[in-house]
Structure 1
């Protein structure tokens, strides 16, 4: 009887170890694919220590120019990348519970776009916009895709996310593909046009000249809805003032549904690809 029990325990342990190894291999493969995607986002051919000058902001509306001066982009690298880690919670329906996640986000001043890699075990999520092409992938431990979304609606929605999340990488506001128009003393509209794709968003500024919210249109499934991004307290991250938190909200026919909350854990601006 003791031999049988030992054999059962040994078998269960062996199966558990095998499943663990398979899971580790799947996660490693998922992360490896993201590393390859970073090559398309980060331009390794641009190696420059040029700094942002005050005159580089002259074409911007005063509202945006003063904001960028205040948060400290003058003197920062023109051609650079940012890598920051987050913790947060997400849900896809107001009736569902929040799921905790940790994530890493990559953005570049040399290429309009982003990669967001998140983990909410056993699910792995990657959202991206590279060369104006968006894709959302949800994978079970990197072993099997549960969902993989692409197409014009995803392209538009991902680019809209990128525009709003430039609040976390304000050097990107200087991208020549972004044009600006003042609306009033506390708001400005930014427009990205890439080929047949156009995305607009409105940034709202508080009495201190800092952005405290963002609004645009994004697709929720296949329906274009009002999207709001609200930010938290501004803190110094690697020499730049950015919000420590962001909350994403769908405004569905006047009913606000918070579906994403993220907090910055660490943040690094660099011109070294690693």
Structure 2
């Protein structure tokens, strides 16, 4: 049921297909654990290690988020036996209150931080202050190496920030347009007294409805089942909304040196 519509609408569908394709790849959970392709053969490793005597080890996670409730971690998290949880007291006198599973130096005493810079952005901010009024001609060899590193980091952060800014705006625009398209289709179905299953009977040339119909077809070509307007709205929220959130985090937080 392909109909002709404008370049803007075509771009919306293309963006949606691209996002859905990316989401579909990421939805293949555990691909990185498989033995074939790009995986690390985690099950083979478990089987091999299980044949030998084992002993507990403690792994420290530096500058990375940890989901303490993950099924593979929740019963294996290190526990500080010298600390009483939740009493607001530094029981073991190490300078950190209620550090039961370690300490989040970014989140601090109030818990994990909601959003933060990536490490490359933190380095950018550090070097930016360090070399703010620097005289290149007076730099030592060590300082010049650090300055060159700063320039490399600066370029990467600014490029990624620009890309994230653009994609964030683009995805927000796409989401709004597709939501309008879904509402337009709903109104056309109502006006013509049709059900969702009667899309091929629509006579209206309403551009929003046409966009929605083409989007539905593209989504179904990607393997999604769209059997109602609710399914369509859910797909827009999950697929495009997820992309909006992703690029929003990159734009406003991850690569934003002004966010503290």
TM bin (shorter chain): under 0.3
> TM-score of the superposition, structure 1-length normalised?
0.21
> TM-score of the superposition, structure 2-length normalised?
0.22
Whichever structure has more strand as a proportion of its residues is 1
User: Highest CA radius of gyration, 1 or 2?
Assistant: 2
Whichever structure has more helix as a proportion of its residues is 2
Higher RCO (CA 8 Å, separation ≥ 6 residues): 2
